[in-house]
């Protein structure tokens, strides 16, 4: 099994207009999805990211607010998936409920550098 990083990029402000019922439904979908990943042995971990952040660039000594530059879109969280190939990992990612509310997912293989 190889390890893949799945980044979730989405409109972070979109959630502020969700109703309590919609939020509950969204959570339930995600929990079901993660349960399935765990059951199939495809889940290694994951965490949400705070919406606050800084951007640091070299050379100009510049630090700007926000993980995002021009849009409200930002990386809201990440998962580590286990799969045998990039194809399989992207297939798994296609089931992520965040896609239903407009998220863009990026799946990248983690290159193991140890040993």
Partner 1 sequence: MADPAHINSIADHLFREHSGKMTAVLCRIFGLQHLDSIQDVVHDTFLEALTRWRYRGIPKNPEAWLLKVAKNKAVNAFKRDGKTTLYEPSAFGSNHQQLIEAKLDHSFEQQAEDSQMRLLLLCCHPGISAKNQVMLTLHILGGFGITEIARAILMQQEAVKKALQRSKSSLKAMDNMLQTSILAGYEKRIEVVHTVLYLMFNEGYKTTQGKELINRDLCLEAVRLSKLLLRKGVSRQHETMALLALMLFNLARFASRITGEGSIIELSRQNRKLWDQALIEKAYRFLDDSTRPNQLSRYHLEAIIASLHCAAPSFEETDWSTIAYLYRQLEKITFSPLTTLNRLVAESYSKGVSDSYHQLEALMQQPLPAQQQHIFYAAKGDFLRRLNQTSEAVKAYHLAISCSPSPSERNFLEDQIAKCKKSIH
Tell me which residues touch partner 1 (CB under 8 A): 15-24, 26-28, 30-31, 34-35, 38-39, 43, 45-48, 76-77
54 CB-side CA count, 13 A: 5
Q: What is the CA radius of gyration of the chain?
A: 16
- Please, what is the minimum distance in Å from the beta carbon of residue 48 to partner 1? 5
| Cβ-based nearer residue to partner 1, 46 or 53 | 46
- Please, what is the minimum distance in Å from the beta carbon of residue 81 to partner 1? 13
Cβ–Cβ under 8 Å, residues 11 and 72: yes
- Please, what is the minimum distance in Å from the beta carbon of residue 83 to partner 1? 17
8-state DSSP, 68? -
Query: Please, which residues have CB within 8 angstroms of residue 6's CB and are 6 or more apart in sequence?
Result: 46, 78, 79, 80, 81, 89, 93, 96, 105, 106, 107
- Please, what is the minimum distance in Å from the beta carbon of residue 109 to partner 1? 20
């Amino acid at each position: 099994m190889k390890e893949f990083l799945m980044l979730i990029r989405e409109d972070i402000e979109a959630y502020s207009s969700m109703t309590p019922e919609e939020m509950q439904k969204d959570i339930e979908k995600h929990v079901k999805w993660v349960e399935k990943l765990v059951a199939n042995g495809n889940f290694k971990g994951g965490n949400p990211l705070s919406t606050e952040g800084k951007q640091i660039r070299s050379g100009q000594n510049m630090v700007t607010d926000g993980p995002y530059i021009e849009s409200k879109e930002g990386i809201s969280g990440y998962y580590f998936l286990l799969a045998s190939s990039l194809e399989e990992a992207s297939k798994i990612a296609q089931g992520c409920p965040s896609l239903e509310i407009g998220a863009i997912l990026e799946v990248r293989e983690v290159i193991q550098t140890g040993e």
